[in-house]
Amino acid sequence: MEFHIVRIPDGIAGQLTFSSPPAPREDTPLKFSIEVPSVDQLAATAQTLGGVPRGAPWNWNSRRLLDIVDLEGNIFQVFERIL
């Protein structure tokens, strides 16, 4: 997988407003889901860096999952496989 960060053109960037803390961006058609060795360990690391877990981890389809909101309001998901 490749991930690219691009700069927003000045004409668009000037129209954006931000809240503090940022509101979770729930109206996007994309959500990154990343496999990690430990959901609990990643959640703890994310919190030390300013991320906010959305609720408690849950199990589904042989996975343990957790959504996290980053410093800009983006929501991403981490999961670990469970047997």
Q: pLDDT tens digits for 20-70?
A: 777 888 888 888 899 999 999 999 999 999 999 999 999 999 999 999 999
Q: Does domain 31-83 have CATH number 3.10.180.10?
A: yes
Residue 17, token pair as written in the block: 């407003």
Domains of the chain by residue range: 31-83
Q: Is the pTM of this model over 0.85?
A: no
* 3-class secondary structure, 34: strand
Residue 18's pLDDT is: 77
User: What is the rounded CA–CA span in Å between residue 53 and residue 68?
Assistant: 4
